[in-house]
């Protein structure tokens, strides 16, 4: 039994099925994550290896070159480049689009383990970074305090700003830029080390063992067993400075300066000509961006803003993704609603019947809601690209419904029985609408199943959404339209007058074309050439992405007289 016959002869069953699809779609629409962009892996992996107090030439020769040689053997690498500074080496791998970054990261880690013995002893701090569009900070802010030195405020900011934000649902991590926690520095004085004949290697091992936590054993007391553990943490700088390091009464303070201070910061932030601290909030990959941003802004305004410990400290939010998402989705929703309204209006102008227009218009909300349900089951988000796909597909959602309803209408004029007309009319065009939908889907097939490039990785989201909407439209046109049309009253012939005028006009144009074939062909060729002229002359530029307005201003400084020390 095909869909048309099932819809006409089993209306309750089909109605329950369609209602279930609508219910699932409505629930999915509430749970569908809102995001600015779909989660896409950017095919770059960066490896950072730190070696402080070196020269760029030394780092390039001792670190960058061995790492490049090891990573160059990995498959799928398009380009590999390195940058060496006075403190670190950065090796960037550019991969092919569509590669699994998780697999490549594991391969990179294996290669780095093999090359580690070739690196200098103090160059063992290695970090591997990859980037996904979901890793973009959802909130960026600045923390400023006129007249207050923020460089020593990390403990306050961590306990009263970072910790409250970290506890919010959906927040993955919170980062501060421009301030770091204080650390203990042990600066050896060369003259004192030589004077006392201290072995620096033995001194380092002594410091490492002094701060280690050691299990001392177990203690049995009254039938209970306790584990004894030696804690190696120092309670104060004086305790660390007084640690014995050699024979006799030689202490660490005798050969080194022990200080507790902020580490040097390579970059900074400013707000209103005052030094500021950057704050960035990142969300979990499956969290709703808008909900996370709203929770963060509420916490900043109420909890953090009213904290007496932060008196004199101002927190200014200057970027949040929720604002862009709401603006973009609102614009697309408005465009989609206007497009749907115009489509329904055009239907009424040509059909001149409210009941027929309403029947066709039913396919629009059904297809949109069902498409949202399919997106949710596929693990996708409702972002600007998927909304664009829905908006572009609105005009195509009624095509199949119009064809089916027109066939039912014509058959009803012949047989009179609405039920028989719905069954025979929709059945006569089933293959036509299926073939029409499939030919449209084939256009988007290369985007969905083809090779992944920098352009198709974004257009794929649009193609998938349009394809799902067209499939849902096909289902509604073969079920919902015959079901409703079979139970409507007798149609009048109001629209036939207007249709007759259009048919007579079209027949006259077609007759002229057949009588003047050469003239018609010349007009078509001339129109084609005129249409291609702007593209051929360069007035219409062909670019993968159109220019967009960037609200950020970047300044790059070049120092001609600059030397590393």
56 alpha-carbon distance from chain centroid: 35
Residue 71 burial by Cβ neighbours in a 10 Å radius (0-12, 13-18, 19+): buried
Alpha carbon of 418 to those of 400, 481, 488, 523: distances in Å?
Answer: 19, 12, 7, 45
Q: What is the pLDDT of residues 412-436, one digit of tens each?
A: 878 878 888 888 888 888 898 899 8
Q: Is the dihedral of CA 296, 302, 305, 307 positive or negative?
A: negative
Note the CATH number of domain 40-133: 3.30.70.1430
Q: What is the pLDDT of residues 355-369, one digit of tens each?
A: 778 888 888 888 888
Helix and strand counts by DSSP (H, E) for the chain: 21, 13
From start to end of 262-408, where are the E strands? Answer: 269-271, 274-283, 314-320
Q: Judge whether 336 and 366 are in contact, CB under 8 Å.
A: no
Q: Judge whether 157 and 312 are in contact, CB under 8 Å.
A: no
Q: Same topology for domains 40-133 and 183-261, yes or no?
A: no
Q: Judge whether 447 and 460 are in contact, CB under 8 Å.
A: yes
Q: What is the pLDDT of residues 261-314, one digit of tens each?
A: 777 776 677 777 778 888 999 998 778 888 999 999 999 888 888 888 888 888
Q: Which two tokens stand for residue 394?
A: 């609105």
Give the separation between CA 108 and CA 92, rounded to whole angstroms.
11
Buried b / exposed e along 35-70 (16+ C-beta atoms within 10 A): bbbbbbbbbebebebbbeebebeebbebbbbbbbeb
Note the CATH number of domain 3-37+324-536: 1.20.1640.10
Walking along the chain (565 residues) 10 residues at a time, the average pLDDT comes out as 81 89 89 83 88 81 89 87 86 86 88 86 79 85 82 82 91 87 82 81 75 55 61 72 77 84 74 83 87 91 84 85 83 77 79 77 85 89 84 78 84 82 86 89 81 79 88 88 78 53 80 88 90 77 60 70 50
Instruction: Given CATH 3.30.2090.10, say whether it is the number of domain 183-261.
Output: yes
**At 172, which helix (H) or strand (E)?**
strand 171-177
Q: Model pTM? A: 0.70
Domain extents in the chain = 3-37+324-536, 40-133, 183-261
């Amino acid at each position: 039994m095909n869909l048309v016959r099932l819809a006409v002869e089993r209306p309750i069953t089909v109605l329950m099925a369609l209602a279930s699809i609508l219910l699932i779609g409505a629930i999915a629409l509430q749970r569908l994550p809102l995001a600015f962009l779909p989660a896409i892996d950017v095919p770059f992996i960066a490896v950072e290896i730190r070696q402080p107090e070196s020269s760029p030439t030394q780092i390039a020769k001792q670190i960058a070159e061995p790492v490049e040689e090891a990573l160059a053997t990995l498959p799928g690498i398009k380009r590999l480049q390195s940058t060496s500074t006075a403190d670190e080496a950065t090796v960037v791998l550019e991969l092919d689009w569509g590669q699994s970054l998780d697999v490549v990261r594991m391969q990179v880690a294996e290669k780095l383990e093999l090359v580690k013995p070739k690196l200098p002893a103090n160059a063992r701090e290695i970090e591997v970074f990859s980037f996904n569009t979901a890793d973009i900070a959802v909130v960026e802010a600045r923390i400023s305090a006129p007249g207050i030195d923020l460089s020593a405020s990390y403990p306050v900011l961590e306990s009263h700003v970072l910790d409250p934000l970290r506890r919010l649902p959906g927040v993955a991590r919170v980062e501060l830029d421009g301030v770091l926690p204080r650390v203990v520095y042990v600066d050896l004085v060369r003259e004192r080390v030589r004077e006392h004949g201290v072995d620096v290697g033995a001194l380092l091992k002594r410091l490492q063992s002094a701060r280690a936590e050691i299990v001392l054993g177990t203690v049995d007391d009254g039938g209970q067993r306790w584990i004894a553990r030696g804690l190696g943490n120092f309670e104060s700088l004086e305790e660390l400075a007084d640690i014995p390091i050699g024979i006799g009464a030689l202490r660490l303070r005798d050969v080194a300066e022990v200080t507790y201070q902020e580490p040097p910061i390579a970059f900074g932030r400013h707000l209103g000509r005052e030094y500021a601290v950057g704050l960035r909030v990142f969300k979990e990959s499956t969290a709703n961006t808008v909900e996370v941003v709203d929770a963060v802004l509420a916490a900043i305004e109420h909890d953090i803003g009213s904290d007496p410990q932060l008196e004199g400290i101002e927190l200014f939010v200057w970027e949040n993704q929720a604002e862009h998402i709401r603006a973009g989705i609102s614009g697309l929703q408005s465009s989609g609603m206007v497009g749907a309204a115009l489509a329904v209006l055009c239907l009424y102008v040509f059909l001149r019947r409210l009941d027929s227009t309403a029947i066709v218009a039913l396919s629009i909300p059904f297809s949109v809601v069902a498409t949202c349900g399919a997106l949710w089951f596929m693990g996708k988000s409702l972002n600007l690209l998927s909304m664009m796909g829905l908006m572009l597909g609105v005009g195509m959602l009624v095509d199949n419904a119009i064809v089916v309803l027109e066939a039912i209408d014509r058959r009803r004029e012949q047989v009179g029985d609405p039920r028989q007309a719905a069954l025979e009319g929709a059945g006569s065009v089933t293959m036509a609408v299926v073939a029409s939908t499939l030919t449209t889907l084939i256009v988007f097939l290369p985007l969905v199943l083809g090779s992944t490039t920098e352009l198709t990785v974004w257009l794929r989201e649009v193609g998938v959404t349009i394809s799902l909407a067209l499939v849902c439209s096909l289902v509604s046109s073969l079920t919902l339209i015959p079901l409703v049309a079979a139970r409507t009253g007798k149609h009048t012939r109001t629209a036939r007058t207007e249709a007759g005028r259009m048919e007579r006009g079209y027949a006259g144009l077609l007759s002229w074309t057949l009588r003047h074939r050469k003239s018609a062909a010349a007009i078509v060729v001339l129109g084609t050439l005129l249409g291609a002229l702007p593209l051929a002359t360069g007035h219409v530029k062909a670019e993968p992405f159109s220019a967009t307005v960037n609200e950020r201003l970047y300044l790059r400084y070049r120092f001609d007289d600059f030397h590393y020390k």
